Amino acid sequence: MSDKIKIDHVAQLARLKLTEEEKARFSEQLNQIVDYIDQLNELDTSSTEPTSHVLPLNNVFREDELKRIVPVDSNEELLKLAPEHDKGHYKVPQIIS
């Protein structure tokens, strides 16, 4: 098995705190996933257009028209979905500046 995953780096990017046992386990699993996908490299794709979307679709737009998906007086409902809110704002841990 390859060792492409740098587990500390990945954990840091995902803001995850992992135990040593988890690091070993996830490292192994993630490397297996990468190896699996690496099989694609065995194919010759030099004449294949890169795909960024599964559907053969381009240019899907909306008009610049104002629409409210959620009524104004339900904004409170959206706020309530957050762990904390106060004075119309989402309340989050202090941002270090």
The footprint of another protein (CB under 8 A) covers 9, 12-13, 15, 52-55, 57-70, 72, 75, 78-79, 81, 84, 86-97
**Closer CB to another protein, 4 or 91, in the complex:** 91
Q: Residue 3 corresponds to which amino acid?
A: D
**Closer CB to another protein, 8 or 22, in the complex:** 8
| CB environment 69-94: b (16+ within 10 A), e (fewer) | eeeeeeeeeeeeeeeeeeeeeeeeee
Q: In whole angstroms, how close is the CB of 77 to another protein at the nearest point? A: 10
Q: In whole angstroms, how close is the CB of 50 to another protein at the nearest point? A: 9
| Helix (H) or strand (E) segment spanning residue 86 | strand 85-86
